[in-house]
Structures are given as C-alpha cells and as structure tokens.
Structure 1
Amino acid sequence: MAEAGVQSVERALDLLEILAELGDDAGLSELSERSGLPLPTIHRLMRTLVGRGYARRLPTRRYALGARTLGLGEAAGRQLGAGARRHLARLARELGETANLAMLDGEMAVYVAQAASSHSMRMFTEVGRRVHLHSTGVGKALLGELPDAAVRDLADRTGLPAATEQTLTDVEALLAAVREAHERGYAVDDGEQEIGVRCFAVVVPGVPVPAALSVSGPAARVSYEFGERAVPLLHEVARDVARELTGS
C-alpha cells in the first residue's frame, strides 16, 4: 500500500514537471503522451491536483499550473537563496564585485540570492528580478547546457529583445556565443543587459533546477584580466553552492 502511495506522488510530480517544462497548458492526451501514463490515471491525478490548487482546469478542458505552485516556488527560492548567500558573500569579498545566484524560471532566469559589492556603484540586478536568457551572463551560461535545437526553439518563442545595442538579437550569433560559453566553461555579458556593465557567469553543476553563478560590475573594473582571476573562483564557489543546494 505504501509503495502505491509513493508511486502516485511520483506520477503527480511528473505531471507538474511536464506542465512546467511546456510553459503552457496541455490536454490529457498530451500529458499521456509525455508521461506514458494511461488517460484514466492522468484524469484522476489532475483532478486531485486541481482540487488542491496545484493545477487549473481551463474552460478549454486543458490544464495549467495552479496558483499554489507560485507560493512553493517563491518559498523555495528564498530558502535556496539563504543557503547560498554565505558562498556569494565570499565571492563579493574576494573579488570586490556583486555576486549573484540565478535559477531557470520557465523561459527566463530569476535572481534568488545576491551579495553586494562594497563599491558605491552597483548593478541593476536585485533578488526576484527575472531576466531574458540571451542578454545575460547567467542566461547564456544556462543556454550553453542546452542543445542547439532547444536554444532555437526558445528564441522562436520569446524573441530576442534588445536591452542595449550590444544585445545578441540574431539566433546564429547567440548560438555561437552559447557554444563558446559551454566549451570554455563560462559565459560573458559584455554590456548586453546594461551599458557599461560586464559579467562573468558559470553553471552550478548537478542541481535539480538549472542554476548559474555570476559576478558583475562596471566594465572599467570588471575587465577580461579580472575574469581570468574570477572564473576559477566562480567554479570553486559554484561547486560549494551545488553541495549546499543538494545537501551532498
């Protein structure tokens, strides 16, 4: 009996994850195709999720994530951010610039923790802010983990809006940049999100929700020579953050 209960929980979570990955509503047949579960099972599980507020049944008889998932996401972000903050503080202390932790949030990235620079001139980023992937260091680091087809698909869905004149708005240029980021192990935002600001970012390895760590500041201070010193430390701290987030 206990085993069946665990299986039901796993299946319900699978359906919620499918809805999250789709980024849109879905019908029973689509959920069945993606999950491999029979329609009666999906109907029963979705009815329970709707009743608890974790899913919504739309007038079209399709399903979408419910309002209660928002509260869980916000709470999880706060808790994960709190756990990572001391590691970010180390980055800010040793490098002298603002350090950020961002996580993938649908088709964008959201900043969940930050340690501010000691300098009076600070960056646009703030905890809770959502940003496009193509115009930020953390976003390009995350895109570098995806196959080209997934990057193209995301660009088709969201477009590539320009935040500055340096923003990559051509999908081929973006693909070249994220391939390079993946190969060298870090991404750079060179005035693409905010004029005069440079950012170095790396992926946090082995965490359930894709995440990236960054350090950013005015380009006059955050030079490419600064990056040579910053990137190894970013990788070291990213591993520490991964252990913090996974409890391993």
Structure 2
Amino acid sequence: MVREGSSIDKALSVLEAIAEHHRVTDIAAATGISKSTVHRILQSLVEWGFARADGTGGYEPGPRILTLAGRVMARFDPARQAAGALRALHERTGYTTHMAVRNGDEAVYVEKLEGRRPYQMPSRIGMSLRLHSTAIGKAILAQLDDEEVRAIAARTGLPGLTAGTLTDAESLLAGLREVRERGYAVDDGENVSDIICVGAPVLDHTGQVLGGISISALVMDMTRAELEQHAQEVMSAAREVSMAMGAPLIQPTP
C-alpha cells in the first residue's frame, strides 16, 4: 500500500507490482491504488520504456528496466554495500570480520576488518577460501541443494586441512542440514586448527546465495556461550547485508 496523495510513491508501487502482476485489476489490488490511476501510471511507464503492453491486455516490465539494472550492476560493489553492517558487527564483537563472495567452487574475501586482539588472522582481501571447511563456505553450501553440494564435493575432493575437517560428502551434508536449521555455520578448527569462525549467508536480489560474512577468533578466545551470542549478531548483520544487496525481505530466525 502507498501513502495517500503521493504520486511518486504510487508510480514506484505500480512499477514494483508489474514484476509479479500483469492485469490492471491485479496491480490495483496489490497496491491499493484505483484502477484508473494504475492505468494512467502504466501509460506513463510505457512511454518511458519501464513497462510494455503484453498484447493480451496486461503489462510487463519494459526494456529500460534491464538497461538501468545493467548500468547499476556494472558499478555494484558488494563490499561497499555491506560496509555499514560489517563495521557495526566488528564494533559489537571486537573480532576479525570478513565478507566473501562465492566464485564457482570456492569463495573470495572481499572485505576484512581486523579484530581488536593482540593477533591477526592469516586471511587477506582477494584470498580464496574453501567451501567445505570454513564458516562462510558452509553457510554458502547450506543454501544449495544436496545434488549441487555433492557435485562440488566431487570436483574439489574435500581435502582434510585439520583433524576436524569434514572430508566426505555425506558427513558434510549432515552438517549442512544443521546449518540450515539454526541459520549459521561454525568452523571449529576445521580450516586452521586453532581458529574458530561463525558465519551466515548473504543473499542477492534474486534470493540466491551471493556469499557470506563471518567473525573469527582464536579458539581460546571465544567460549561456546559467546559463540551462541555472537551467532545471533552475525545472522542479523547478514540479513542487513542481504537487504542492501536487494534480497527479498528476510525474516529473523526464531
């Protein structure tokens, strides 16, 4: 619904509605705007190229939307969009904070904020990370179906990096089911033996997984109680980042 009397809000509401609705009647019902006003707005959108008649009496998004989206995405920087949420998470926890985006069968760090501790994590922006042994990686894998995870496992081989690394596909899948249920992933010395990480997925404008964010510390520097507390903060930050990426509204995990 739009605020009464706001022509800009009404036009934007109609523009958003034609992504899912085609008939004037349905658009009017979805937006709460009268059919006559919806029809008038649609005519203007057609003239501007943001909508087009579909030949059956309905409307659909026009080519100018794609042109505009292409220009925006060409300049889109995930790290910049996530900067505020990452800084806030870093300030709240004091731990090293990362963001990585998926790149095929791995992920790549695009942001790192060093923790307020007398040590540094052995990570860097531009460094690749494995999906099966890291918190961000497992958060990403948990958003995929089992067959895709198995295909990735077959290609990468799931090498054991520490004594705690999950090195077979079925054990990994079982762990990912737990990740889906609770909303976050944990790397408890699975990638580097003395480092613990908590990660959550970041979704893009299509609702698909883009990457993830995490906090990292030495195992001796984060208790289980602290892990549970900070996991909620990581998930909250990941939802905020996802919204900044244009993801559909994500409800908090109960």
Q: So what's the TM-score if we normalise by structure 1?
A: 0.66
1:194 equivalent in structure 2 = 192
1:246 partner SS: coil
2:227 equivalent in structure 1 = 227
1:178 equivalent in structure 2 = 176
Query: Is the CA contact 2:203–2:245 (under 8 Å) kept in the aligned structure 1?
Result: no
1:28 equivalent in structure 2 = none
Quote the Cα distance in structure 2 between the aligned partners of 1:132 and 1:169: 12
One-letter identity of the residue aligned with 1:204? V
Shift of 1:247: 8.6
2:150 equivalent in structure 1 = 152
2:138 partner SS: helix
Quote the Cα distance in structure 2 between the aligned partners of 1:223 and 1:205: 28
Deviations 1:103-142 (A, max 9, x none): 1111111111122101121212211111110010001011
1:165 partner SS: coil
Deviations 1:122-171 (A, max 9, x none): 21221111111001000101111111111111111111112222211111
Does 1:97 pair with 2:95? yes
2:216 equivalent in structure 1 = 216
Change (3 A) 1:127 1:191: same
1:84 equivalent in structure 2 = 82
Quote the Cα distance in structure 1 between the aligned partners of 2:155 and 2:177: 20
Does 1:113 pair with 2:117? no
Quote the Cα distance in structure 1 between the aligned partners of 2:148 and 2:78: 27
1:103 partner SS: strand
Query: Is the CA contact 2:141–2:149 (under 8 Å) kept in the aligned structure 1?
Result: yes
Query: Is the CA contact 2:204–2:247 (under 8 Å) kept in the aligned structure 1?
Result: no
RMSD in angstroms over aligned alpha carbons?
Answer: 2.6
Shift of 1:207: 4.2
Shift of 1:93: 1.3
Please show how residues 37-48 of structure 1 align to structure 2 within 5 Å.
none
Quote the Cα distance in structure 1 between the aligned partners of 2:156 and 2:203: 26
2:30 equivalent in structure 1 = none
Structure 1 portions without partners, runs of 5+ = 14-71
Change (3 A) 1:220 1:186: same
Quote the Cα distance in structure 2 between the aligned partners of 1:230 and 1:121: 20
Quote the Cα distance in structure 2 between the aligned partners of 1:110 and 1:224: 27
Quote the Cα distance in structure 1 between the aligned partners of 2:154 and 2:232: 34
Quote the Cα distance in structure 1 between the aligned partners of 2:88 and 2:129: 24
Structure 2 portions without partners, runs of 5+ = 1-48, 53-61, 249-254
1:26 equivalent in structure 2 = none
Q: Percent identity?
A: 34
Name whichever structure is richer in helix by fraction: 1
**Larger radius of gyration, structure 1 or 2?**
2
Query: Is the CA contact 2:96–2:115 (under 8 Å) kept in the aligned structure 1?
Result: yes
1:236 partner SS: helix
Deviations 1:225-248 (A, max 9, x none): 111110111122112212222298
Quote the Cα distance in structure 1 between the aligned partners of 2:87 and 2:173: 32
Change (3 A) 1:128 1:207: farther
Query: Is the CA contact 1:101–1:214 (under 8 Å) kept in the aligned structure 2?
Result: yes
Number of matched residues?
A: 183
Does 1:161 pair with 2:159? yes
1:194 partner SS: coil
Quote the Cα distance in structure 1 between the aligned partners of 2:240 and 2:186: 21
